Amino acid sequence: MRYHQGSATMIGLAVVVLVAVGAGGGYYYYTQNIAPKRVLADTVSTVTDAEKLRSFRYEGSVEGTYDVSFSNGEGQTNSEQSEQTQEAQTFSTSFDGVLDRTDSDNVEGKLNVQSENAGQGGQPTNMKVRFMENMLYVSGAQAFGNQSGEQKQWLEVDTTKEGGQPSEGAFGGSQLQTMPNPNETLHFDISESERKELQTAFRENQFVTITDTYGSQEIKGVSSHHYGYSFQKQAYLSFLKEAQSILGNEQITDKQISANEQFVQKLDTLTGELWVAEDSKYLTKLTADMKMNSEKSTMSDLSLSMTMSEHNTDFTVQKPESTQSLEEVFQGVFPDASQESLQQESAPKPENVPENFENFDQETLQSSNNNSELSEEKKKQLFPEYQGN
């Protein structure tokens, strides 16, 4: 499966909806003025309080269709290459796992993902993730940047480290080095006063509204209330800005708001259904169906379905027996150089360039190697700081 920034953002919003409704995000969809008010208000109180909802098992799927542009043949001119063909591709991803946030300093969990991409050149993905004690463990071909098959080795990532990871393209380093710390993203430290302010903000900007009330239904053996909902785009953006003013820029950044604004522009509609346990008020199932604006997005639709069960069960997440750090993987491929030296090593400085110039790229290097003498005009072009001899 080939991930694109647009599809990643869409999946991200699906997860935001999921987390906010049921897994502890605390965006308080159902606090006031939505029938049956008492049931939904209790659900919000439950899912946003780690002491009430400590752990659960989850499983589900994500499916979608998107357009991919490609050109046929080789050796074409630039004008010919610009005439690209679009092909609709589909993907289907199933997932399951557990989450335990009993200890806010040691959120634990596991996630298994199986993905099929039915488009041109699509590759199946089978990945396993474990997290505990600020460590993230990833197993699967994607973890090692290898598309050819499954890897039995587990890759170990310290989520508390900043930097020191391989650059983009090296073993998925650009993705793994930015992986969030589960202790920060899966545990929600919201004060009671902030909770009340967010509830008020939602009442004023109800971006999720209940559209239908269905009968009772059993989900994983649990009798559950069944509702339909719809997503209000502009109210959502207004709520995010209010939430940022309440929680601060560290929890909701300007970059996150900007990304959501860009996504909402591409979204036509988002509707779905949810099921809430009659007794415990825990969320037991959620679906979300997104329809995209075909003129603004390569993704045409995205569907999410997820069930949650075994709430407040004591789960055991074990550390994998065989692990490798990013540094060990890197050194295994480049045994004669450390990761740090490979990251910091600069290309040899071309001849006939003033000593005070340190910023030169591959174009500069190639140019200087092919021409023993650089003209004054070329030096000024390649080195903006150069003032001449």
Q: Which two tokens stand for residue 119?
A: 């488009």
Convert the pLDDT of each residue in 362-384 to its tens digit: 444 444 444 445 566 666 655 55
User: Tell me: the pLDDT tens digits for 175-215?
Assistant: 444 455 555 555 556 777 887 888 788 888 888 888 899 98
Q: Widest CA span of the chain, in angstroms? A: 84
CA pair distance 29, 43, nearest whole angstrom: 10
CB-based contacts of 100, cutoff 8 Å, min separation 6: 54, 55, 107, 108, 109, 314, 315, 317
Handedness of CA 190, 51, 208, 304 (dihedral sign): positive
The more confident residue out of 114 and 8 is 114
Cβ count near 46 (within 10 Å): 20
Look at residue 33 and tell me whether its pLDDT is greater than 70. no
Tallying the residues shown for the chain, one arrives at 389
CA distance linking residue 319 with residue 364, whole number of Å? 48
Place of tokens 């474990």: 130
Cα–Cα distance for residue pair 18/238, rounded to 1 Å? 19
The pLDDT value given to residue 388: 63
Contact predicate 99/186, CB 8 Å: yes
Phi, psi of 200 (to 5 degrees): -65, -40
Q: Which helix (H) or strand (E) holds 195?
A: helix 192-204
